[in-house]
Amino acid sequence: MSLTSNPQRATAMTLLEGGALVRLREFQRAGVDPETVSRLVREGVAIRPARGLYQLTNAAIDARHTLAEASALTPKAVVCLTSALQFHELTLQMPSSVWMAIERTAWKPRMEYPRVHFVRFSPKALSEGVERHTVEGVNVAVFSPAKTIVDCFRYRNKIGLDVALEGLRQGLRSRKVTPDQLWQFARDARIWSVIKPYLEAMVADGA
């Protein structure tokens, strides 16, 4: 059966070709029933990397692919800590899970794939320093470099002080952060006294 004789299939292919990741509800809104999507998977045209999420089998995938997948499944979460450092190219670490921040009282989704490590933030901390980027057609919320570095010091017991220091050093060297930006976020997080000596030492040494 040709695409022209199967409007639902043609619509599904248009959606898949227009964005690397497509949610099932996006197909349904476009008038494509679940059976049409399932048939594309059975035929090997599309794959289902996670429940309710689809992409072309031969879709181009970059290093941020798992961030797009996690964000598509948890649209209210924000990429944070080591994953945000990696996104901003401020670490050589390759986290085995995607670090995502959610509100303190929010429901924590159960996800088999991708692996996600959720961290609970206060409403204020979750809303500050958020950037939005489009990755593989998905709206990805990620904390800014300065906010991320400060959060890494806040959660240094979870990710390791060495990771926080690497992020601080790379942020200063690449000029993706300034001492003033770090001070503002650190002051709000009440962690300036922890970061200050490391920051002063790195600035004195030229990072």
**Could you give the percent of the chain with pLDDT greater than 70?**
93
- pLDDT tens across 112-132, in order? 777 899 999 999 999 999 999
User: What is the residue type of 112?
Assistant: E
Q: What is the pLDDT of residues 72-86, one digit of tens each?
A: 888 899 999 999 999
Beta bridge pairs of residue 143: 130
CA distance 174 to 134: 22
Rounded distance between C-alpha atoms, residue 32 and residue 40, angstroms: 12
Local confidence band at 3 (pLDDT 50, 70, 90 cut-offs): very low
Residues of the chain with CATH 1.10.10: 3-56
Residue 26 reports pLDDT greater than 90: no
Of the pLDDT bands very low, low, confident and very high (cuts 50, 70, 90), residue 52 is: confident
pLDDT, averaged across the chain: 88
167, 89 contact by CB (below 8 A):
no
- As a whole number of angstroms, the distance between CA 107 and CA 72 comes to 16
> Which CATH architecture best describes the domain 3-56?
Orthogonal Bundle (1.10)
Is 18 or 168 the better-scoring residue by pLDDT?
Answer: 168
Least confident of 40-44, 52-56, 151-155, 164-168: 52-56
Q: For residue 62, what pLDDT band results from cuts at 50, 70 and 90?
A: low
Q: How many other C-beta atoms can be found within 10 angstroms of the C-beta atom of residue 158?
A: 13
pLDDT band, very low/low/confident/very high, at 1 (cuts 50, 70, 90): very low
